[in-house]
Each structure stands twice: as C-alpha cells, then as structure tokens.
Structure 1
Amino acid sequence: METLDILIVGAGPIGLACGLAAKKAGLSYTIVEKGCLTNSLYNYPLYMTFFSTSERLEIGGIPFVSISAKPVRPEALEYYRRVTISNHLNVRLFEAVEEILPDGQQYTVKTERTSYTAKHVIIATGFYDIPNMLYIPGENLPKVNHYYKDPHFYAAQKVIVIGANNSSVDAALETYRKGAQVTMVIREEGIGKRVKYWVKPDIENRISEGSIKAYYHSHVQAIRENEVDILTPEGLITIENDFVLALTGYQPNFSFLEKAGIHLSKDGKKYPSYNPDTMETNMPGIYLAGVVCGGMDTHVWFIENSREHADKIIAHIVAK
C-alpha cells in the first residue's frame, strides 16, 4: 500500500483548502469524507445567506463570484464543487474514518471501507454533526428536530424554535412567512448579538408586533405529542405544539479526537491541544484545521479565518 504524505479527514471547505495546498506543494494526499462533498454546507438550510462576502470564502486563491455581495448556499455548493473537480482533487466520499492509529513514524487510518497509511494526518471535520442536546423529556420524539432545512414543511403548523442565534432566527422568520404559528423560547434576555445585522431588526420587529411570540429568560422543560411545557419567569406554562426546532448549536466529535490521542482541555470548553503556529497537535504528525480547533466555542473559527490553516500546515510539513 502506498504511504501518503497526508491523509485529510473531511471534505469541507477547509479540508479542500488543505488538499489544494498539498497538491501545490507536490505532496501525495487523499481527502476522506464520511458524507457528500462539503457535507455540512449541503445540510445547511436551503435559503441560507452567508455572513461573509464571497471573496472571504475563497480557497486556494481561486475566485468565488456570486450574484450578490453575500453568497447563498447553492452558490457556495457550486463553487466548492467546481474547485474540487477542476483541480482534480483526490477525494473519497461517503467513507467514514473510524480510527487513526500510530504506526511507527506514520499513521494507519482505518475507514469503514479500507485502510490508508500516511506520514501526516489533517483533521478538518468541523462541528455540525453532533447537536447540543437539551436532555429533557420528549426530546427524542419525531416532532423534535435539531436541524432545519426547508420552511415549507412547517406551513400551517404550531412551531417552537429554541434558541436566539442565526440558525434559530432564520428558522423562526422563514417558517413564520410560510404560515407557521411561531413561538421562540430564549434563555437569554434578547436576540443573540452575533445574529446577522440585516436580519436582527426583522426578527425584533416581528416579535414587537406580536407576529412571533418570544419567551425570554425561559427554557423548554418537557415535550409531549401535542404540547410543550415552558418554564418562564412568570412560571410554568403549557402551549399547543406540532413541531419543535431545537437549534441549540452543535459540537465537534470530541470522542474521535480523544481516540486519536489528542488532548482536550478540562475546563468544559474542550479546547484541543495544538500549536497555533503550525496547527500540529500533541500527537506528532496530526494536525487540526478549521472550526474543529475551537472546541465548544464553535463561533470562533469560520471559513474566512481558518482557511489560512491549510498553508500553515503544509508549510510545516514541507519544512520537515
């Protein structure tokens, strides 16, 4: 079996950026992805608009041209797909990595299909696969979703949206405009400060006029087939409900990182151990790239500020 210079885990934008940088440096590499190409972006809401401008989502110095200043999900999917195909990146899709095992001065990477041998491994797996659970009765009912895709599905339904950041606000506005009766349940005192600046006034106005009901300093206590209990500052209330969108955020696959030998901080943030100058972890030859570097602080790293990880990693590998 050929020993690769680099095995890249994850074919999201940053994993692809690592592949482009590796190819440019003349290194042998393979990108392995458990789902489809840019799997996380594919699973974003259908009508999502990025916060960043198109040029800040570019990878490998390849121009990203969008119709508007801020691209939408289909444009991003098209861009990263064309980047992958036109550059003939070596990508293996729908192949989950199961283990990364030290093997002398290199690593054996076992997937559900085969095994690879590589001198270096880059983990660029993002954080979108594991939702932050509520741990309340009824959370596992079919009516509860931790992901939101298309507002039409919720037309003429009573919908509770849990959370007050971008995904929650988008879901509340879009389902409301498709005819849903929307109630937001928010732990904090108001809409999140990181909500897109052109959306924040919209949701606040809809709440002020009563089109969308919002309970602040509140949380859902229990979910049943046709109703939900909400603990508010005024006490416990029960409202009729058809669907719950528990958009409470997501987290990296920490068990996968620990299984690979990467140390995580013990402060609850679970920051992985790595050198910010090289992105190399405490495991020699294993690197982190992209939002996976942020632990539970998933709002720290984005495409625009982590695409530089690719160049840092490849420069360090070449220098060896």
Structure 2
Amino acid sequence: MDNKYDILIIGGGPIGLTCGIEAQAAGLSYVIIEKGCMVNSLYNYPSNMTFFSTSDKLEIGGVPFVSNNIKPTRSEALEYYRRVADKFDLNLNLFEKVESVDKKSDEYLVHTNKADYQVKNIIVSTGFYDIPNKLNIPGEDLPKVKHYYKDPHFYAKQKVLVVGANNSSVDAALETYRKGAEVSMVIRESEIGERVKYWVRPDIINRIKEGSIKAYFNSSLSAINEHEAEIIGPEGKITIANDFVLAMTGYQPDFSFLRKIGIRISTDEKQAPEHDPITMETNMKGIYLAGVVCGGMNTHIWFIENSRVHAEIIINKIIAEE
C-alpha cells in the first residue's frame, strides 16, 4: 500500500494542524484528513466574529499571529492558519471523510471516501462544531430554524427569535438587531450567561433593559410553527409571531464516530471519551485524542490555547514507543 504513515490525523483544525507540525518536526510520516475545508469549524463561525482570546494564544508552530487588534477576527484567523499550513507545507487532504477504522495486527487500516491508509497511530482532533444540540421539540426541522448563524444582513426587517444566552446567542441577537431585525430571546436561566465576552455582556443587558430586545427569562421554547413559536415561562405558555428561529444551543462531538472506531464513552451526562490525560491515548492502543473532543459534552474545558500542548504530548509518546 502506497498510503502508509506513522500517523493519520483526523481533523484539520488548529489542533490537527499542530499535530502535523509536531509530527513533521519529529521526522514522522503523517497525513491530515479533513472532511471539509481547512480549519472548517472556524470557517463556519459567524462572519463578524471576534475571538475571546488574544492572537498570541491562538498561535501554533511558533508562528507569530499578528492581528489589527489584540483580539483577532474570524477572517484574520483563517488567513493565519492558512499561512501556517503553507509555511510548513503540511500534508493535508481536504474534503476527504474518514468512513471506517479497522485494526490490522499492530496497525490500523483507515478507509475514507477517497482512499485507504495503513497507519501505526491515529490522532482524533475532530472538535465539536459539526453536530448541534437539538431542542427536540415539534417544528425544529422547519426551514426557518437555524442551528448555525452566519451573517446578520439576511435577517433584516424580520422577526427573529434567538434561543440561548451565551456568546453565540448574544452575538446573533445584537448583530441582527443592529441590522434592523425585531429580536426576541428565549433564555432558560434568569440572566445572561457569565461566560459572555466581557465587552459584549453589558451591551446585551442594556439592550434588554431598554426594551430594544425582548428577553423571556426562565423560559424555554416548546414548539415552532410556520409563522409562530410557543414559549413556556413563569406566566405559562405564550405564542409570539416570528420569521426565523436561531437555536444557538451549542454543539457536541461526533460520538457515533468515536464509538464506531472503538473509543469508549462515559455513560454520564458528560459523555467523555476514555483517554489517559497523561498521554492522551484512548482505550484503543495507538489512537489518541487532541483538542476539545477530549471533553465530550463539556466543551468549555479545552480551547486552542490550552490544548495545543496535546500535540507535543502525543508525539513524544509515539516516539518513545518507536
């Protein structure tokens, strides 16, 4: 087989790219397989998004990340990671999806929609942005319901109902409001989330206080119809007219894929993939986890800035066993 490598990395996000850089530096053969475009999750972030982190904390491979402001934008991040991939001439296969992983003696046979690979080790760095957390209510599958928010102009002059009170929800509410949408928010808690970016939180609180954005606190969405939505709150059930529902309810790793390749998942609500936090190796020998996927449903543990080290840990482990 021509496609034989020491390491196959699943996921071409910042941490997957970092794993490729570390493997390259260690003289190991590798290939990065990404089912979408480069840093696909970042590409699907809202067009006007500004990162919570400063640019230096998003750096990989020792390449400086210079941005116009201390906190970079989505477009700056896409440019940066594209340049990093070019600088290291990473072996990166885009728009290729891993379909199966089979154990073959002391190696793995990986089948994608484009090729087969025989590899000694696998690093899973697939993130969590591909599968939205569903509301599981009637009408959720209507075309008016969006689990991803891209650009506010689309919602100008429309009645928009935003579900949630964390960063993605708040950004969507404020941006669509400022483009002329009539915005309401449905929030399970009694206040805006404390994790909301500190320079944005006062803005949304003030817009709600002045009545520019209507917020239904301690409430949940119970059903969605073609032109209306039903909300259950402290005053019982109410129905409001709306054109679009932005269900910013968070996302989760692809647990079915992890189970399919043999990784055990905890049975509690965290659904954490089993792995050794010292080596990042899973219950499957030679298969490692890197990045946010390590946290399961607890997606607020790992970020680019604190999981970059996973790449070095994994490569050192692989070298030690060579």
For the aligned pair, the TM-score class normalised by the smaller chain equals over 0.9
Q: What whole-Å deviation, never above 9, does each CA across 1:245-286 have from its counterpart, x for those lacking one?
A: 000000000010011111111112110111111100010000
**Aligned alpha-carbon RMSD (Å):** 0.6
Counterpart Cα distance in 1 of 2:164 and 2:177? 16
CA deviation digits over 1:185-219, x for unaligned, max 9?
Answer: 00011111111000000000000000000001101
Q: Does 1:97 align with 2:98?
A: yes
**For residue 220 of structure 1, what is the amino acid of its counterpart?**
L
1:1-320 mapped onto 2 (5 Å cutoff): 1-2=1-2, 3-320=4-321
Distance 1:34 1:237 in 2: 42
Structure 2 portions without partners, runs of 5+ = none
- Partner SS for 1:237: strand
Structure 2 counterpart of 1:298, one-letter code: T
Q: TM-score, length-normalised on structure 1?
A: 0.99
Aligned-pair CA distance for 1:150: 0.1
CA distances 1:81-138 after superposition (whole Å, capped 9, x unpaired):
0000121000000001111111110101110111101000000000000000001110
TM-score, normalization by structure 2:
0.99
**Structure 1 residue 170, shift from structure 2 partner:** 0.2
C-alpha distance in 1 between matches for 2:276 and 2:62 = 25
Q: 1:315 deviation in Å? A: 0.6
What count of residue pairs does the alignment treat as equivalent?
320
**Structure 1 position 60, deviation (Å):** 1.2
User: For the residues of structure 1 that align with 2:139 and 2:57, how far apart are their CA atoms?
Assistant: 41
Q: Distance in 2 between matches of 1:38 and 1:114?
A: 21
Amino acid at match of 2:225: R
Structure 1 distance, partners of 2:256, 2:240, is 37
- Displaced runs of 4+ in structure 1, greater than 2 A? none
- Shift in Å at residue 61 of structure 1? 1.2
Look up the SS of the partner of 2:202 in the other structure: helix
**Percentage of identical aligned residues:** 68
**What CA distance in whole angstroms lies between the structure 1 residues aligned with 2:87 and 2:63?**
11
Query: 1 CA distance for matches of 2:202 and 2:29?
Result: 49
**Could you give the per-residue CA deviations for residues 56-100 of structure 1, whole angstroms, max 9, x where no partner exists?**
000111111111000000000000000001210000000011111
